[in-house]
Amino acid sequence: MENYIIYEEIGKGEATTVYKGRRKETINFVAVLSIQKSRRAAVTNWVRIAHQITDDYVVHFHEWYETTNHLWLVLELCTGGSLQDILDQDERLPLSEIKKMALDLCRGIHQLHKNDICVGDLSPSRLLLDGPGVVKINNLSCAHFESEEIEAIYQSVVDEVTQGIEADSLDEVGENAFTNPVRNIAYHSPQALVGHVTLSADIWSLGSILYRMFTGTLMYKGDEIDDVLMQIKKDSPKSKIDAMKNLDENAKPEEFKNFKDLLHSLLEYEFEKRPTIETVLDHPFWGKKITKKESESLSSTSKSYFGTPKGSKNPQETTIRDEEDAEKTLTQSMMDRSIE
């Protein structure tokens, strides 16, 4: 982390603290994430997928580091907060704003799907906005190629790092270094809830997010998978969408009709019947055709990448920086910061 100046804390989660940072000798401001090693598998997978994608609608990954007690990610700084923050403040949004924000989200999904990558856990808390208000997909810890299973990827990280560790030490290592994928099941498709995560699962999540943005409520609530599945079977998305009223007094009837039609297609129970993201981008709701340039795919690179963070040689033989030095750097940077 010696290449960065760390400023104030700008966010905090269960296992992550986010700081505003700046690369030394530049005016390039970044987000610096300090993550507990209990999330090693998630971070390793995030980095693996981030190396496949460079896009304006996906939060840009710069580099990662490892110290004694933490993993550190350096990412693009998005100063507009998350979509969840906006929904917490405003409850719901007009169709004009939903259209702009959702189109950004669709463009990000499009680039990932063109590379055969499932986002795996789309939710408002994982969508960030930059200063001008562009929506970007953040946190690719649950993302994977459609042919893969995320649990197997996480397990491969565990196997790689624990290779050669004595059996009686594995419990301690497992407790301190690895966890299963952490997901927001409220936005998951019925198939994803039972472990079948494909590109079409992201399409359902997109629909769930748009429904939340317009109505101000979750389509389905619950902390347990069985609870959510039961709600979906008892009260189908079709019935919920049909019952929607136009809460936006400025929305034209045709615009609202197109929005409901889009939701119906996105939230189709049978995953084979859901549209591809390319078809979604051609829907009349957007009011314009997406340009060819916007629909161009990235060059697909399906290589397997398990990069090693700076500060360590490899997962089996790790040379780690002294955590005290990292903490001193953090403290000194905050004391010496020249920008508030």
**Domain CATH code at residue 45:** 1.10.510.10
Residues 146, 161: Cα–Cα separation, whole Å: 25
170 in a domain, yes or no? no
Quote the Cα angle for 116-120-126, to 5°.
Answer: 120
What pLDDT sits at residue 182? Answer: 65
Residues 157, 42: Cα–Cα separation, whole Å: 9
What pLDDT sits at residue 184? Answer: 84
Residues 333, 21: Cα–Cα separation, whole Å: 9
114 in a domain, yes or no? yes
Which of 104, 121, 202, 248 is an active site residue? 121
Residue 1 near residue 333 (C-beta atoms within 8 A): no
What pLDDT sits at residue 305? Answer: 40
Q: How many domains does the chain have?
A: 1
249 in a domain, yes or no? yes
Residue 21 near residue 32 (C-beta atoms within 8 A): yes
What pLDDT sits at residue 323? Answer: 43
DSSP letter at 290? P
54 in a domain, yes or no? yes
Residues 10, 105: Cα–Cα separation, whole Å: 23
What pLDDT sits at residue 300? Answer: 36
Task: Name the token pair of 233.
Answer: 């079977």
Query: Is 331 in a helix, a strand, or coil?
Result: helix
Query: Is 52 in a helix, a strand, or coil?
Result: coil
Residue 207 near residue 240 (C-beta atoms within 8 A): no
Task: Kindly give the parts of the chain with pLDDT less than 50.
Answer: 172-177, 291-292, 297-306, 313-340
262 in a domain, yes or no? yes
Catalytic annotation on 248?
Answer: no
171 in a domain, yes or no? no
Range of the domain at 223: 4-165+176-336
Residues 231, 134: Cα–Cα separation, whole Å: 33
Q: Estimate the crossing angle of helix 253-266 against helix 95-114, to 10 degrees.
A: 30
What pLDDT sits at residue 219? Answer: 94
Quote the Cα angle for 115-118-124, to 5°.
Answer: 125
Which residues contact residue 248 at a Cβ distance below 8 angstroms, ignoring those fewer than 6 apart? 94, 95, 96, 214, 256
What pLDDT sits at residue 310? Answer: 64
What pLDDT sits at residue 337? Answer: 38
319 in a domain, yes or no? yes
151 in a domain, yes or no? yes
Quote the Cα angle for 280-283-286, to 5°.
Answer: 105
187-197 as b/e, with b when 16 or more CB fall inside 10 Å? Answer: bbbbbbbeeeb
